Amino acid sequence: MPYASVADLKAVIPSRDLQLLAAFDGAGAAEADPRLEQALIDASAEIDGYLRRQVTLPLLDPPHTLNVYCRDLAMWRLYRNLGHDTERLKSLRDGALSWLRDVAAGKVGLGDDDTAPTDTSGGVAMTDGPDRLLTRDSLRGW
């Protein structure tokens, strides 16, 4: 199951590009949706390759971050297949892959986590240190 829907993808692709995508190989407008769906499936598979070691797949309630990165990766694939200049989209792809590598390495979490952060330690009270400069006795008479 893709992390983003065709409607999510259509919301970020300009209408003139959607028309180009629909006219790809002389196909009609109805042929654009399967192409968009396949790009989302491919992007989701790429994402799963990075997440496989960190989480149990499939994710029942994927975070919104995966929706965004799935759209970015799918857009890059679609525009590259159309022969468009993908330099602008390459930075989106590079950002998504960098974040996915960090998730795979355990450096960052998936995001959208509503659980409260836990302390890394219970905390220890400092019980010794330098002698106090101002005490009741030293301030007596002031």
Q: Model confidence at 89, in pLDDT bands (50, 70, 90)?
A: confident
Read off the DSSP letter of residue 115. Answer: S
- Using the structure block, give the residue that is written with the tokens 């400092």: 126
Q: Are 40 and 1 in contact (CB under 8 A)?
A: no
What is the arithmetic mean of pLDDT over 18-47?
Answer: 79
> In the numeric block, which tokens belong to residue 76?
């890059």
Residue 69 predicted with pLDDT over 50: yes
Going by C-beta distance under 8 Å and a sequence separation of 6 or more, which residues neighbour residue 13? 21, 75, 78
Identify the burial level of 74 via C-beta atoms within 10 angstroms of its C-beta, where 0-12 means exposed, 13-18 middle and 19 or more buried: buried
- pLDDT value at position 87? 83
* pLDDT for 16 beyond 90: no
Segment among 63-67, 71-75, 81-85 with least mean pLDDT: 81-85
**CA distance readout (Å), 109 to 44, 48, 50, 61:** 17, 14, 12, 15
Mean pLDDT of all residues in 112-130: 57
